[in-house]
Structure 1
Amino acid sequence: MKKQILFIHGGGEGGYKADTKLADSLRKELGDAYEVYNPEIHFNDTLPDFGWLKQIGKEISLTGEKIILAGHSFGASMLLKYLSENRVQKKIDGLFLAAPPYWSGDEDWKQGIKLHKNFADSIPKDIPIFLYHCKDDEEVPFTHLKFYTQNLPQATVRKITGGGHQFNNDLSFMAKDMKSL
Structure 2
Amino acid sequence: MKQQVLFIQGGGDEGYEEDALLVVSLQTALGATYQVHYPRMPSNKALPDFGWLQQIHQEIMLLPNQIILVAHSLGASMLLKYLSEKQAPKNIAGIFLLATPFWSGDENWVQGLKLPDDFPGKLPDKITAFLYHCRDDDVVPFEQLARYQQLLPQAAARSIESGGHQFNHDLSRVAADIKSL
Q: Into which bin does the TM-score normalised by the smaller protein fall? A: over 0.9
Number of residue equivalences? 181
The whole-number CA distance in structure 1 between the counterparts of 2:169 and 2:3 is 22
**After superposition, what is the alpha-carbon deviation per residue over 1:71-124, rounded to whole angstroms, capped at 9, x for unaligned?**
000000000000000011211000000000000000000001100001000011
Question: For residue 163 of structure 1, what is the aligned residue in structure 2?
Answer: 163
Question: For residue 129 of structure 1, what is the aligned residue in structure 2?
Answer: 129
Residue 59 (str. 1) matches residue 34 (str. 2): no
Residue 115 (str. 1) matches residue 123 (str. 2): no
Question: For residue 29 of structure 2, what is the aligned residue in structure 1?
Answer: 29
**After superposition, what is the alpha-carbon deviation per residue over 1:22-57, rounded to whole angstroms, capped at 9, x for unaligned?**
011010000000000010001100001111000000
CA contact (8 A) 2:29 2:175 kept: yes
Q: Which 4+ residue blocks in structure 1 deviate beyond 6 angstroms?
A: none
Please tell me the root mean square deviation across aligned C-alpha atoms, in Å: 0.5
Secondary structure of 1:139's match?
Answer: coil
The whole-number CA distance in structure 2 between the counterparts of 1:170 and 1:136 is 15
CA contact (8 A) 2:66 2:90 kept: yes
Give the letter for the 1:17 counterpart. Answer: E
Question: For residue 80 of structure 2, what is the aligned residue in structure 1?
Answer: 80
Residue 58 of structure 1: CA displacement?
A: 0.5
Give the letter for the 2:24 counterpart. Answer: D
Structure 1 length normalisation: TM-score? 0.99
Identity of aligned residues (%): 56
The whole-number CA distance in structure 1 between the counterparts of 2:125 and 2:172 is 26
The whole-number CA distance in structure 2 between the counterparts of 1:136 and 1:109 is 26
Question: For residue 68 of structure 1, what is the aligned residue in structure 2?
Answer: 68
Structure 2 length normalisation: TM-score? 0.99
The whole-number CA distance in structure 2 between the counterparts of 1:137 and 1:125 is 30
The whole-number CA distance in structure 1 between the counterparts of 2:65 and 2:166 is 30
The whole-number CA distance in structure 2 between the counterparts of 1:10 and 1:95 is 15
Question: For residue 104 of structure 1, what is the aligned residue in structure 2?
Answer: 104
1:37-52 aligned at under 5 Å gives the runs: 37-52=37-52
The whole-number CA distance in structure 2 between the counterparts of 1:19 and 1:169 is 8
Structure 2 unmatched runs, 5+: none
The whole-number CA distance in structure 2 between the counterparts of 1:153 and 1:57 is 26
Residue 66 of structure 1: CA displacement?
A: 1.6
The whole-number CA distance in structure 1 between the counterparts of 2:25 and 2:115 is 29
